[in-house]
Structure 1
């Protein structure tokens, strides 16, 4: 109130009309109406996004590794504490077969059992990825698609598929201990 700011505006009026060609107007209106990004810009954005994803992924993996190490350390400490408590109880004359405390030997045995189960799982997984079975399966599917009205014509492909599966089963049973 009382003190007002004075601004000086200069307005220029053009007495000559300015006209643009139709091509320029069309190009400007097309540019405004399209929301599509230029291919060069899109590839730059894509590479930037991929880089950020990879960076975040590596960050998450490192955090996961840290958490895993902390869990392993806590479990190891807990097992050592239990083992020390169990050894103290055995020395005092308590029963050693309480079942709650496991010694290092029994833990190593459990670990070996888990490793054999993992190996068996991986061997079974490799058998599932057998190329002969995949090819035979694909041939059966293709035959059924070609002969939708007369599926009985696919008996050869079906027999071949059955034979490859039987061979795979034999391999699996041989791999079991």
Structure 2
């Protein structure tokens, strides 16, 4: 009774997969992989540089767009001021409403000048902070230690955790100093 169910079905052998064929790569591809001096860290650096260049390009694009918009807004403001001056010259200056309008215009002008002064002050601070400064000697030393450790431990970058922590601490120290300088 149950003996026929235990036997394998030999009539339908089409479902078997032939695993005897090995995957073969072309010889130029194998030679390229063997001769390649590119490591994981080099690929990571190349990727990081590519990302940085894209971010810089996007920042430059945004700066140009904002500068253009800023110029357009400045032009609109100056046009509005000119039309406001024409209207104030055309209206009669004797009534109380025109005096309050003139006072409001004067206050807006003073506020606008104060804001523009603040903007110029911030721009000069930003321009000063854009300049590249020499790094602290301890940061340079920590960076070189990380680089040499990563070169020595190419296949085991986690072995360099101590050097990386030292580098992070030095950078954090510099950042704290910069923040204190900006805040004060």
| TM-score, normalized by the shorter chain, greater than 0.5 | no
Which of the five TM-score ranges fits, normalised by the shorter chain? Answer: 0.3 to 0.5
Larger Rg belongs to: 1
Report 1 or 2 for greater relative contact order, CA contacts < 8 Å, sequence distance ≥ 6: 2
Give TM-score scaled by structure 2 length. Answer: 0.39
Normalised to the residue count of structure 1, the TM-score between the two structures is 0.40
